[in-house]
Amino acid sequence: MVFSSDTVVIEKNYNAEESKENKGIKLVEMPMEVREKIMALEVPSKPTLKLKKVHFDTQNSTSKTPLISEFEYIDSHIYAIGSLIIDNKSNTLSRCVSLKGLIELACTTEATSEIQMPPIGLMVAGSFLSVFGVKQTLEINSIFNTTDLSGDLSLLTNPRAGDKFSYIHSWELKQVTKNIVSINSATTNKFYVSCFVENPVEAVMLNSKLNGMYLPVTCNGKNNAGKEFKNNFAFLLDSQMYLSLSMENTYANTNYTIKSLEYNPR
């Protein structure tokens, strides 16, 4: 796995049992204009404590699911974030280049899930036949990429208590769904987001192993269809990055609880 400030390169070798013939390379490259905007931003302070791994419990109205995220500071305001979600019958693995953990700039995602097809009954020549349900595997591979980014990026990357900032994030998603047949799809969208930064709070309030202080950040937004969402973050001052605390949208309300974490050695 290789990360840089402008690309996500992933060796498709997540399962050690995969044969060498099944390996592949996925590359997502952000547009030059977006890269130049980010690299032009000042970096007043670099992280003094770099997060290595965080174990979350994600909770919505129907289930609780573990999430493991690994972090790598690249340069400037860019982080690489790898996330793994494992449920009873599904798992999702994503690798992203992120702006401070707040905005996903480019990602590749692979998801697999087991589907139990319901049993059906058939009438054949006057006789009733019961056909048992069949288990099938659904695979979804996707590539997410930023097409444009504008707004108060200097405030976003260096938040202070009392700040308000906004940004517009345009992106595209290409997806391949595989079951019996493969289906290709492509989606574009635009997020209009406004955020408010509150006063600092001791980070131990989130987890006893977190150091220093964090700034609570609330972001309200809508997409180009007018559907609204709300996300809450903790901006860790020592690590200079955002961690998700909750997400609310049309489909679900999800809370993130930090169960454990690791820092990189100083």
Q: pLDDT tens digits, the chain, 266 residues: what are they?
A: 334 444 444 333 333 333 333 334 455 777 889 988 998 999 888 899 999 999 999 998 788 899 999 999 888 898 989 999 877 777 888 889 999 999 999 998 888 876 555 555 545 555 544 444 456 677 888 999 999 999 999 999 999 999 999 999 999 999 888 876 788 889 999 999 999 999 999 999 999 999 999 999 999 999 999 999 999 999 999 999 999 999 998 888 999 999 999 999 87
- Is the Cβ–Cβ distance between 262 and 52 less than 8 Å? yes
Question: Would you state the pLDDT for residue 124?
Answer: 52
- The answer to whether residue 126 sits within a structural domain is no
| Contact criterion met (CB below 8 Å) for 74 and 81 | no
Question: What pTM does this model have?
Answer: 0.82
Q: Would you say residue 98 lies in a domain?
A: yes
Residue 127 lies in a domain: no
Is residue 123 domain-resident? no
pLDDT of res. 119 = 55
Q: Give how far Cα 17 sits from Cα of 138, 139, 254, Å.
A: 20, 18, 33
- What are the tens digits of pLDDT across the range 33-45? 998 899 899 988 8
Q: What is the pLDDT of residue 130?
A: 47
Overall number of domains in the chain: 1
pLDDT number for residue 158? 95
At 5 the pLDDT is: 43
Give the H/E segment covering residue 180: none
Nearest to 93 by CA among 68, 123, 117, 126: 68
Q: Which domain holds residue 209?
A: 2-118+132-261
Residue 38 lies in a domain: yes
The answer to whether residue 65 is domain-embedded is yes
pLDDT of residue 27: 59
Does residue 256 lie within any of the structural domains? yes
Positions of E strands within the chain: 2-3, 7-11, 25-29, 51-59, 64-75, 78-86, 90-99, 103-116, 120-124, 127-131, 135-151, 164-178, 182-197, 201-202, 213-223, 228-236, 241-248, 253-263
125 within some domain: no
Cα 239–Cα 242–Cα 245 angle in degrees, nearest 5: 125
pLDDT of residue 26: 55
* Cα distance between residue 52 and residue 21, in whole Å: 31
